[in-house]
Amino acid sequence: MRVSVNNREQDVPEGLTVRALMELLGVDPRRTSVALNGRVLLIAEYDTTRVSPGDAVRTIRMLAGG
């Protein structure tokens, strides 16, 4: 299925959980959040929320000062 990841269209497997999507994208859930259709998800939702066709996914990496 086709979803938008960080404003780029991308094909991902059907029925993917958010946690599986993060693994697929290679992002570290300890320091990166996921906004699904504009809402930042709780960590508690990563295993129970599935990505649907046409969803807009944004990953936000923790970037501090320094």
Among 20, 35, 49, 50, binds another protein (CB under 8 A): 35
Among 13, 40, 47, 54, binds another protein (CB under 8 A): 40
34 burial type by CB count under 10 A (0-12 exposed, 13-18 middle, 19+ buried): buried
Question: If binding is defined by CB under 8 A, does position 66 make contact with another protein?
Answer: yes
Question: If binding is defined by CB under 8 A, does position 48 make contact with another protein?
Answer: no
Amino acid at 34: V
3's enclosing H/E stretch is strand 2-5
Among 17, 33, 49, 50, binds another protein (CB under 8 A): 33
